Structure 1
Amino acid sequence: MIRHLVLFKLNEGVQRDDPRVVEGVRAFEALGGLIDELRFWELGWNISDRPVAHDFAINSAVDDADALKRYLEHPAHQAGVALWREFATWVIADYEI
């Protein structure tokens, strides 16, 4: 199994209640029920105010590298990514569990 972690940092001046952010969160919330490859799916806003902290996180898991590829290429995932590109940057980590 592969764990797929994503940490998002909102761009300077962008707030959580920005309509673009709200739409982006909704798009990612829906993925857990849309993409069969996902074995685990959770997401949420960071509660820490430490300077190194990111703003939003996705924690997910898929069976293997092929499933990860299918998830990443899924049209619903790509649509969500396109939304987030407008207002955030992110880092990822994929590791075997």
Structure 2
Amino acid sequence: CLYLNIWVPTKTRLRHGRGLNFGNNDYFQDDEDFQRQHQSKGGLAMLVWIYGGGFMSGTSTLDVYNAEILAAVGNVIVASMQYRVGAFGFFYL
């Protein structure tokens, strides 16, 4: 693993500068999953995402794969990794 990206559920700021706090959103307050999730006393769940591409191409650094909102809405820790691909992907450099 060359790079590790980690997103944690915090106050999320979008590109347009509007701050959104998904944890206090009235839309989710009546949701059964939202209530059950915030009543637990344990730690947070962790989602590890490894991009595909058949070891020939791919990246986890595209804006499309930004997990900031996923972490905030799902109240999970999201981790993705960047690794070498292609002919030199498994060589020790």
Q: What is the TM-score of this pair, normalised by structure 1? A: 0.27
Q: What is the TM-score of this pair, normalised by structure 2? A: 0.28
* Max Rg structure: 2
Task: Answer 1 or 2: which has greater helix percent.
Answer: 1
Higher relative contact order (CA 8 A, sep 6+): 1
